[in-house]
């Protein structure tokens, strides 16, 4: 049995939203009762369209955004209960890679300074050791040690993302949360970065949470995949099982909407109408307004995420037994 590295339970993040009268406060439920586990050494992919809460989930796990409620058990310890100071120390073990490395690397710092900062913050090594570690990690991510003297703008997009990855690796983290790490890159560069991330995972025994909207990329890199829609996980399964046999109508629609790079490939496309703005309901399934199979039950009650096959969970009334 694999060890659970991270266990998220009933995680919620509600952002307050003031209505026009400025008095009544309603909420945007960015993350609404999300639960999942991440096993040591695996990659959990989180997919969904914009506004589904996948990025907020990632950030809330790291407490870059404070959760409204819920528990985040990392290595047996509940991160949501830690003080800010202790949490900052804890981030040594959880690091993040962002979408746009240009926006997440300080343009006024050299790469050496960018990479040294996490070491200083966490008090790792002396000046000499830090220097060696920086050269070592620059090489690990496929750059050269002389790149340390350069500034972020002197790199191409792919190289900058390598710097972003190197920075995340500096503190020897156990878990890396990568939020759309390849979506700003060209196709040919995207493949390089994905291969690098896979190699690093093997060599350094890393665990990834890989957040992305590109279903092909997620399938390629993930062992298990969670599909999110409007703040909730609607389906969670091993990636083979999810892609071969999607259960939730939203997952089905999502998969069939992806253009396949093969003009001879014939399939029955399921194109759902409307968009996320059609889905403002307080009760029932969030997907009901766009779902071709919606019934009265879907309007009345919110489906829970239940395991319907070994390792394959879905939140849909179509699969409830009662």
Instruction: Give the C-alpha separation, 107 to 153, whole Å.
Output: 7
Instruction: Give the C-alpha separation, 171 to 119, whole Å.
Output: 6
In sequence order, what DSSP letters do the residues of 250-309 get, joined into one string? HHHHHHHHSPPS-TT---------S-GGGG--SSS-TTGGG-TT--HHHHH-PPP-EEEE
- By CB under 8 A, name the one of 60, 80, 104, 239 that touches other proteins: 239
Instruction: Give the C-alpha separation, 41 to 74, whole Å.
Output: 14
Binding segment for other proteins among 105-113, 121-129, 152-160, 298-306 (CB under 8 A)?
A: 152-160
Binding segment for other proteins among 24-32, 54-62, 69-77, 262-270 (CB under 8 A)?
A: 262-270
Taking the CA atoms of residue 224, residue 244, residue 264 and residue 185 in that order, the dihedral angle to the nearest 10 degrees is -10
Q: Is 261 in the site for other proteins (CB under 8 A)?
A: yes
Instruction: Give the C-alpha separation, 293 to 272, whole Å.
Output: 11
Binding segment for other proteins among 63-71, 82-90, 96-104, 259-267 (CB under 8 A)?
A: 259-267
The CA-based angle 66-68-71, given to 5 degrees, is: 85
Q: Is 294 in the site for other proteins (CB under 8 A)?
A: no
Q: Is 228 in the site for other proteins (CB under 8 A)?
A: no
Q: Is 203 in the site for other proteins (CB under 8 A)?
A: no
Nearer to other proteins, 132 or 311 (CB): 311
- By CB under 8 A, name the one of 88, 132, 216, 295 that touches other proteins: 216
Q: Spell out a b/e string for 220-251, using b for 16 or more CB atoms within 10 Å of the CB, else e.
A: bbbbbbbbbbbbbbbbbbbbebbbeebbbbbb
Nearer to other proteins, 38 or 253 (CB): 253
Structure tokens at 102: 């240009």
Nearer to other proteins, 133 or 147 (CB): 147
Binding segment for other proteins among 35-43, 73-81, 212-220, 300-308 (CB under 8 A)?
A: 212-220
Q: Is 22 in the site for other proteins (CB under 8 A)?
A: no
Instruction: Give the C-alpha separation, 228 to 306, whole Å.
Output: 15
- By CB under 8 A, name the one of 28, 87, 276, 294 that touches other proteins: 276
Per-residue string for binding with other proteins, 36-75, x by CB under 8 A? -------------xx-------------------------
Helix or strand holding residue 195 (H, E): helix 187-204
Q: Is 103 in the site for other proteins (CB under 8 A)?
A: no
Nearer to other proteins, 116 or 179 (CB): 179
Helix or strand holding residue 44 (H, E): strand 43-47
- By CB under 8 A, name the one of 264, 268, 282, 310 that touches other proteins: 264
Total of residues contacting other proteins (CB under 8 A):
45
Residue 242 and residue 46 in contact, taking contact as beta carbons nearer than 8 Å: no
Q: Is 77 in the site for other proteins (CB under 8 A)?
A: no
Binding segment for other proteins among 90-98, 145-153, 253-261, 311-319 (CB under 8 A)?
A: 253-261
Instruction: Give the C-alpha separation, 59 to 34, whole Å.
Output: 13
Q: Is 19 in the site for other proteins (CB under 8 A)?
A: no
Binding segment for other proteins among 122-130, 154-162, 169-177, 305-313 (CB under 8 A)?
A: 154-162
Q: Is 215 in the site for other proteins (CB under 8 A)?
A: yes
Task: Find residue 179's DSSP bridge partners.
Answer: 211
The number of beta carbons lying within 10 Å of the beta carbon of residue 37 is: 16
Where along the sequence are the contacts to other proteins (CB under 8 A)? 49-50, 156, 158-159, 186-192, 194-195, 198, 213-217, 219-220, 239-240, 243, 253-265, 269, 271-273, 275-277
């Amino acid at each position: 049995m694999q060890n659970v590295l991270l266990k998220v339970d009933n995680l919620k993040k509600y952002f307050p939203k003031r209505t026009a009268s400025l008095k009544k406060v309603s909420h945007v439920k960015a993350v609404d009762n999300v639960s999942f586990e991440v096993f040591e050494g695996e990659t959990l992919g989180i997919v969904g369209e914009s506004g589904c809460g996948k990025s907020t989930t990632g950030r809330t796990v790291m407490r870059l955004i404070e959760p409204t409620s819920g528990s985040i058990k990392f290595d047996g310890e509940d991160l949501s209960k830690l003080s800010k100071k202790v949490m900052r120390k804890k981030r040594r073990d959880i690091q993040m890679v962002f979408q746009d490395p240009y926006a997440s690397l300080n343009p006024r710092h050299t790469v050496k300074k960018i990479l040294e900062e996490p070491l200083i913050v966490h008090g790792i090594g002396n000046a000499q050791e830090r220097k060696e570690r920086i050269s070592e990690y620059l090489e690990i991510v496929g750059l050269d040690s002389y790149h340390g003297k350069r500034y972020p703008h002197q790199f191409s997009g792919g190289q900058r993302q390598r710097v972003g990855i190197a920075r995340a690796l500096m503190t020897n983290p156990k878990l890396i949360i990568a939020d759309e790490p390849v979506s700003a890159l060209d196709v040919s560069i995207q493949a390089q970065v994905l291969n690098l991330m896979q190699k690093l995972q093997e060599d350094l025994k890393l665990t990834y949470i890989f957040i992305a909207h590109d279903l092909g990329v997620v399938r390629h890199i993930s062992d298990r995949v969670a599909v999110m829609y409007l703040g909730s996980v609607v389906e969670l399964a091993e990636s083979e099982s999810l892609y071969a046999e999607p259960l939730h109508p939203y997952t089905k629609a999502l998969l069939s909407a992806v253009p396949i790079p093969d003009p001879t490939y014939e399939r029955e496309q399921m194109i759902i109408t409307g968009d996320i703005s059609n889905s403002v309901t307080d009760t029932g399934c969030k997907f009901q307004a766009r779902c071709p199979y919606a019934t009265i039950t879907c309007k009345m009650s919110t489906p829970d995420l239940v395991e319907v096959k070994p390792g394959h969970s879905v939140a849909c009334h179509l699969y409830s037994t009662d």
